[in-house]
Amino acid sequence: MEAHNAMGYSTPSTAFAVIAATSPDTPDAPFTSFDGSFVQIAWSLPYNGGSAVNGYTIKVRQVDEVTYTEVASCDGTTLTVINNRSCRVPIDTLTLSPFNLPWGTSVFAIV
C-alpha cells in the first residue's frame, strides 16, 4: 500500500499477513423431535470462523448403533436447511436401508 498527495507517492508499507477466515467451529449436538410422520433434526449455529456457513452434513445412526450415514432427504447445502439449521426426515426413510430403524426406536443424529 502506498500513500500519495500532490507531491507524489510514498514508499510502500511493509507486508503483513491476514487470515480472512478459519474453519467453522464444530456444531453442538443436534436435537431430534418427532413431528407426526417426520423426525425433526435441529442444531444451533456454530461460530462461522469469519465466513458464512455454506453447508452442513447431517447423518443419522443406523440400527447397528455404530455407523452414521448421511440422510439424502436432509440436503445440508440447500438455503432452507442452512438458514433454519434444521430438516425433517420422513419416518419411512429411517425404517428402510441403510438405517433400518425399528418403529419407536430413538433416532441419533450428528451434524
| Alpha carbon separation from 105 to 9, 77, 86 (Å, rounded) | 72, 28, 20
List the CATH number of the domain containing 34: 2.60.40.10
Rounded-to-integer distance, Cα 40 and Cα 13, Å: 54
52 is in which domain, residue-wise?
A: 23-110
Q: In this predicted model, what pLDDT tens digit does every residue of 8-58 receive, in sequence order?
A: 778 887 877 777 788 899 999 999 999 889 999 999 999 999 888 999 999
Residue 64 domain-assigned? yes
Supply the pTM of this predicted model.
0.78
Identify the bridge partners of residue 32 per DSSP, sorted by sequence position.
Answer: 41
Cis peptide bond upstream of 98, omega within 30: yes
Residue 10 domain-assigned? no
Residue 16 domain-assigned? no
